[in-house]
Amino acid sequence: MDDQQWNCDYCLSRPNLYQRPMTTTADPPLTSLAHGGGCGCKLAPNVLAEILARTPLAVAGPDLLVDAATSDDAAVYRVSNDAAIVATTDFFMPIVDDPFEFGRIAATNALSDVYAMGGRPIFSLALLGMPIGKLSVETIQRILEGGRQVAEAAGAPIAGGHSIDSVEPIYGLVALGLVHPDRILRNKGAAPGDVLILGKPLGIGIFSAALKRGILDAASYRDMIVSTTRLNTPGAELFDIGGVHAVTDVTGFGLLGHLSEICRASGVAAVIDRLAPIFQAAEALARDGVKTGASARNWASVSAMVEAPSDWPPHLRDLYCDPQTSGGLLVSVAPNRVDALLELFHRHGHHDAAVIGRVEAGSPRISIA
């Protein structure tokens, strides 16, 4: 993007701010066409639970190894003694205005759920909804190109898909992977004494809110793109570490929302006793009151099981509930395998991976120490 020209009058007077790329068409900025963006579009956990309350789960046969019972990241179906299919889908409205980067982010995010189950992506299908007449063919092609680049880099070429004419721009993937039936990673299985590790910094939702307000600086925009397009490839090797008991990825429900799913699925309590990795600029923005509407919805959904000190700063609550688009893996691992796990993250370029807490016996709850 360094060689592109820019056309934001406000930003021209503020050269340190992110500036929208100039286009050759009269297309409006992508984010202006959407009421939400990225994983912040997800329904709040309590709303989703209410909607699904009367929806029965799939009739489980012996080969359906993982279904929606524990709110896991993907379904897993055994096709042989040595292979199981990991199947998931994810799509959303634009979190950035650059169509190529939007495609890359959406594809990275969709593939993350395969990695979170310990699988390796094998191919994918594109899901495309575009406001035809508002966006040019060239812009839509760039979205698809960005998604294709990421999918092919992950070894999951886009083999087809489905498209509709929609009011808001939507893009994502159906992602399919393979995993050995004995090597499946789940959000169920965290054990007392485990250490909790988070693979990416928090703050993507706050960056997206600042971007829509025109107050995101160029360095933070670059951090946002780098983080949201970094594949969660460590997931495919987590089983080899040994002692990995539970895994999920932190996306639209925020750190507390996804950690609460691990706690409920595993029947354990969690303690966050270290500051989670956070983008410094995102924390500064949060202190100034920048946040998404989804963070408040996420807090409303999880607050009943969170024990926090009375002086817990409100901006940290917003960050821990901040919806992450293409966020990091959250891993519950035996204490004697922490160093090996961190080394794995670092080897895959996830240098911000850090210990954030521990797992304890007890009813499902999260304590902020």
**Separation of alpha carbons 53 and 228, rounded Å:** 32
Confirm whether 321 is a catalytic residue.
Answer: no
Give the pTM: 0.90
10 Å CB burial of residue 339 (0-12, 13-18, 19+) is: exposed
At 313 the pLDDT is 95
In contact, 334 and 194? CB cutoff 8 Å: yes
All residues at 6 or more sequence positions from 211 whose CB lies less than 8 Å from its CB, including other chains = 18, 31, 95, 96, 221, 224
Per-residue confidence in pLDDT tens, the chain, 369 aa: 333 332 333 333 344 666 555 444 579 989 888 877 766 666 766 777 787 777 776 666 899 999 988 889 999 999 999 999 999 999 999 999 999 999 999 999 999 999 999 999 999 999 999 999 999 999 999 999 999 999 999 999 999 999 999 999 999 999 999 999 999 999 999 999 999 999 999 999 999 999 999 999 999 999 999 999 999 999 999 999 999 999 999 999 999 999 999 999 999 999 999 999 999 999 999 999 999 989 999 999 999 999 999 999 999 999 999 999 999 999 999 999 999 999 999 999 999 999 999 999 999 999 999
Phi/psi at 110 (5° precision): -65, -40
**Separation of alpha carbons 352 and 38, rounded Å:** 22
Domain ranges for the chain, please list them: 9-182, 186-368
Q: Residue 336 is encoded by which pair of tokens?
A: 């004697």
Q: What is the largest CA-CA distance in the chain?
A: 63
Torsion of CA 166, 167, 172, 176, to 10 degrees: -40
Q: Residue 179 is encoded by which pair of tokens?
A: 């995993």
At 275 the pLDDT is 95
At 64 the pLDDT is 94
Phi-psi region of 254 (alpha: psi -120 to 50; beta: other; left: phi over 0): left
At 6 the pLDDT is 29
Sequence-ordered alpha helix ranges (H) in the chain: 9-12, 45-52, 99-116, 137-153, 204-213, 218-228, 238-241, 254-266, 280-287, 293-302, 314-320, 338-347
At 60 the pLDDT is 67
Length of the chain: 369
In contact, 37 and 224? CB cutoff 8 Å: no
CA dist 69 to 72, 108, 222, Å?
Answer: 8, 25, 37
Q: Are strands 244-249 and 269-272 parallel, antiparallel or unpaired?
A: unpaired
At 137 the pLDDT is 96
For the four alpha carbons of 208, 210, 215 and 220, in that order, the dihedral sign comes to: negative
At 49 the pLDDT is 75
In contact, 234 and 115? CB cutoff 8 Å: yes
Q: Name the strand (E) or helix (H) holding 89.
A: strand 83-92
The domain made up of 186-368 is a member of CATH 3.40.190.10: no
For the four alpha carbons of 148, 153, 159 and 162, in that order, the dihedral sign comes to: negative
User: Which CATH class, in words, describes the domain spanning 9-182?
Assistant: alpha beta
Query: One of 8, 39, 263, 321 is an active-site residue; which one?
Result: 39
